[in-house]
Amino acid sequence: MANKVFHVMYDDDQKLMDGARALVAKGIRVKDVFSPFPVHGLDPVIGVKRTRLAIASFMYASTGTALAILGTWYFMIHDWPMNIGGKPSFSWIENAPAFVPIIFEFSVFCGAHGMVLTYLLRNGTLPGMPASNPDPRTTDDKFVMEITTEQNGGMSESDIEALINTTDVYELSIKNY
Amino acid sequence: MLKEASIRQPLILGHKTYHDITKDICGPIEGPAPREWKIAITIAAIIAIYGLSCIAYLVSTGIGAWGLNKTVGWAWDITNFVWWVGIGHAGTLISAVLLLFRQRWRMAINRSAEAMTIFAVIMAAIFPVFHMGRVWMAYWTLPLPNQFGSLWPNFNSALMWDVFAISTYFSVSLVFWYIGLIPDFATIRDRMVKPGMKRFYSILSFGWSGRAKNWTRFEEVSLVLAGIATPLVFSVHSIVSMDFATSVVPGWHTTIFPPYFVSGAIFSGFAMVLTLLLIMRKTMKLESYIHVKHVEYMNIVIIVTGSIVGVAYLTELFISWYSGVEYEAYAFINRFSGPYSWSYWMMMTCNVISPQLFWFKKIRTNLAATFVLSIVVNIGMWFERFVIIVTSIHRDYVPGAWGEFHPSGIDVGMFIGTIGIFFTLFLLFARYFPVLALNELKTILKMSGESYKKEAEKH
């Protein structure tokens, strides 16, 4: 059976929320939602899990901390110790207070950039990537819900369409894939 | 949908829909450039070119072209550096600290404030980089493996911390700004008709599609970036202040510097944001989004930080007497009565006295008065750095080594030039980039929009 994709457009975030709730309650799986801004409270309704980017950021930042500690030890203590105003050049731990600013900055640097790169890669948003929103109005003031027959195996095309039409739809387009 | 208390003034005036927000902010980008913009950018570009030629002269002659001498080794250049970095801080404060505090009024101003941050930090970096003299060796500040007996940069030095702090700050602010811009570029891309411009914004928007998962990640990334940018912004100006605080020269030996510099930075940054936004809201017709309430909030921040700065000035004076160190005491007596006392009193008037006028509601809600005072604050903050740097080092322990600093034409030209470069970049931003975070504004429209609030009150 050919996969059919329903693009259900709403003209208001509240209508989208109500529509998503009603459809999910009737057992329809919503594949995705395209919206011009984050619609709060929508994620649990359509089953989008919380992102783990914050954890990733913590790990990148910890890597940064470790690298900065290793670096300051290697440059200042191990490889070429220098007597700078009598500061301890023989022991990392005794010289550590002077290294705190750089360790901190480097941790922030790694945490921020690591997370942002992960974010861009996971989103598939990189320079020159093609956009995949089904309608240009979804970045302005319209909200589109994507529903596929493939994901809703138990239901026929006309059943899904009938259910969709019970919500406050602005426009509906059905495409073959 | 969250409801906001009805006594809170609306943040978006008039009857706006989601589409109106898109139209109001993308409209100016799509239309032809207005005459005023062309005139303004021409003037700014001429000044910028003059500044760049001063830099070219400086590099080819050496930093003797500046007015520095053996006694006063840091003066105009580092004053400008600290002034520009300080201005930059308001952008991060608005976008990060106010995000953590869930201040919704930030959304109308954060985009342009962050743009200001980035351009200001670039301007700031010019000064210490060219002060190195042989600027093509600037990469020696990085710990790169080398052939000089493996000579590593000194990680004990506050100047080295500065290299790390400023470059981290710049790059993190840049990505923070860009992450927010991506969805707004997508909005412009989807509206553009001209194929060339569509292609341009399509590249800038990185193929953003606004999927539910993308938005979840977007909000998480913004929150975490705000969370780590907040300590970052405080650390950066603390580290800048340590360039002066960790020395043994009287006046450059003060533990109060980090908090005092940070509040001074926020103070001058907000003043610069006000200067820019008051012009921008008028010329780009953004009065419904940036109105008197926003200006008032920013003026309140100016009173608070300005008063902290005032207290810091007085504390410094008191401590210099209370310490019992005669060199320290003399440094401060010399500040307010020595050859540079005019700059000290300029600083006191502009930073401590005049911002107190904002206690009057009439003044802090008056846009013309705010505009004038915002410029006064920035003049005052420039003099603050000049006072700290020049008056401290022009007379230290040995009177035989006392000297004075007189700026050269190149000193002045470079400073004026950075203002020109800054405004050129800012005008380009205002013309081609979405000047308000339009997709973020849409999230608060139903909470804080005037017509929606009136509607809610009826029920």
- For chain A, the domains span 4-49+132-176, 53-123
Confirm or reject contact between A48 and chain B (CB < 8 A): yes
The class that CATH gives domain A4-49+132-176 is alpha beta
Confidence of residue A83 (pLDDT cuts 50, 70, 90): confident
Per-residue confidence (pLDDT) for residue B360, from 0 to 100: 92
Secondary structure of residue B348 in the 3-state scheme: helix
Q: What is the DSSP string of B195-225?
A: HHHHHHHHHHTTT---BHHHHHHHHHHHHHH
Residues on chain B touching A131 (C-beta within 8 angstroms): 186, 189-190, 202, 205, 207-209
Summary mean pLDDT of chain A: 87
Closest chain A residue to B237, measured at CA: A101
Residue A2 has what pLDDT?
67
Q: Does residue B20 register a pLDDT over 90?
A: no
Does the pLDDT of residue B1 top 70, yes or no? no
CB pair distance less than 8 Å for A119 and B179? yes
pLDDT confidence band for B149 (50 / 70 / 90) = low
Burial class (CB in 10 A: 0-12, 13-18, 19+), A121: exposed
Which residue among A39, A54, A104 places its CB closest to the CB of B220? A54
Chain A CB contacts of B187 under 8 Å are 36, 139-140
The closest CB to that of A38, out of B155, B165, B218, belongs to B218
Q: Which of B434, B18, B426 is nearest to B188 (CA)?
A: B434
Q: Measured between CB atoms, does A35 come within 8 Å of chain B? A: yes
Angle at B308 between CA B307 and CA B309, to 5 degrees: 90
Contact A98, A73 (CB under 8 A): no
| pLDDT (0 to 100) of residue B428 | 92
DSSP annotation of B74 reads S
Whether residue B19 and residue A141 make contact (CB cut-off 8 A), yes or no, is yes
* Range among A142-146, B15-19, B49-53, B141-145 rated most confident: B49-53
Distance of CA B41 to CAs B14, B249, B428, B429, Å? 31, 43, 8, 11
Q: Where are the alpha helices (DSSP H) in B246-350?
A: 257-283, 292-322, 326-337, 341-348
Residue B101 has pLDDT above 90, yes or no: no
B221, B436, B439, B441, best to mutate vs chain A, most A CBs in 10 Å:
B221
CA distance A83 to chain B (A): 10
Report yes or no: A36 at the B interface, CB cutoff 8 Å.
Answer: yes
- At residue B12, what are phi and psi to the nearest 5 degrees? -120, 115
ipTM of the complex: 0.90
Q: What is the mean pLDDT of residues B267-291?
A: 88
The count of CB pairs under 8 A between chains A and B is: 203
Q: Tell me the C-alpha to C-alpha distance, in Å, between residue A52 and each of A40, A115, A118, B148, B178.
A: 18, 10, 10, 45, 21
| Beta carbons of A141 and B221 less than 8 Å apart | no
pLDDT for B91: 85
pTM for this entry:
0.91
Among A46, A71, A120, the residue with its CB nearest the CB of B206 is: A120
- Pick the residue of A55, A57, A58, A123 with the most B CBs within 10 A to test the interface with B by mutation: A123
Nearest CA in chain A to B166: A105
CA distance B233 to B304: 18
Query: Which residues make Cβ contacts (< 8 Å) with residue B421, sequence separation at least 6?
Result: B48, B51, B52, B119, B122, B123
What does the pLDDT read at residue A1? 55
**Interface contact flag, A113 B22, Cβ < 8 Å:** no
